[in-house]
Amino acid sequence: VGTLIYVIGGFDNAGNSVNTMDIYNPQTNSWSAGPSMQTRRDNPGSAVINGLIYVVGGRTRDADGTTVVNTLNSVEVFNPATGTWAGAASMPTGRRTMAVGVINGKLIAMGGESGPGSTAFAQNEQYDPTTNSWTSLAPMPTGRHGMAYGVIDGKVYTAAGGPTAGSAFINVVEIYTP
């Protein structure tokens, strides 16, 4: 956002999910701590809309490998101008390692881990910050998690990823056009 890079959530050295925020300033080559999220989470998705940082989904895990919450559906919004966090409407599908992009000022969350029977989700959902609401969109043809993704010319491109939880991989490229 602006000239700063925000690193939010993840794992600590012991393997615990964290709720921390670190802010990198490339102009001064320095790091500073920002305010923490409400929820510890690793593997969330994130996007910037109108200068606000949206952090969606993820998982909460302890260092001993115990999963406290397998798939979070909560959404937290950080306002860099005020330095404050706020909640937003929860995702219909709790998940982690999903593709997240922004098209026409709306957040798109696609796929993710871990669905029923350790499958990857095919769900494709859109968040509208003006109404604080989610809408279901056409599902991905191939449900998967951990994919490479990007938004180009108003389309979400997804490549590779895994159809099941863990280290399963496929060679698929798909394009979502709203």
Of residues 102 and 164, the one with the higher pLDDT is 102
Q: How confident is the model at residue 164 (pLDDT cuts 50, 70, 90)?
A: confident
Q: State how far the Cα of 11 lies from the Cα of 135, in Å rounded to an integer.
A: 30
pLDDT tens-place string over residues 75-134: 999 999 999 999 999 999 999 999 999 999 999 999 999 766 778 999 999 999 999 999
Q: Can you give the pLDDT at residue 115?
A: 64
- Taking the C-alpha atoms of residue 124 and residue 93, their distance in angstroms, rounded to an integer, is 9
pTM of the model: 0.94
* pLDDT value of residue 100: 96
Residues 163, 169, 125, 84, Cα dihedral to 10°: 130
The radius of gyration computed from the CA coordinates of the chain, to the nearest angstrom, equals 16
Residue with tokens 């397998």: 70
pLDDT score, position 165: 78
Between residues 66 and 138, which one has the greater pLDDT? 138
Cα atoms found within 13 Å of the Cα of residue 15, Cβ hemisphere only: 7
| Mean per-residue pLDDT of the chain | 94
Among 68-72, 87-91, 114-118, 161-165, which is the least confidently predicted range? 114-118
What is the per-residue pLDDT for 116?
64
pLDDT of residue 169: 86
Residue count (the chain): 178
The residue-averaged pLDDT of 146-173 equals 91
C-beta pairs of 30-38 under 8 Å, 24+ apart in sequence: 34/6, 34/78, 34/83, 35/78, 35/83, 35/84, 35/85, 37/8, 37/9, 37/76, 37/78, 37/85, 38/74, 38/76, 38/85, 38/87
**C-alpha neighbours within 13 Å on the C-beta side of residue 45:** 35
Q: Over 90: is that where the pLDDT of 50 sits?
A: yes
Residue 126 to residue 84: CA distance in whole angstroms: 24
- What is the residue type of 73? N
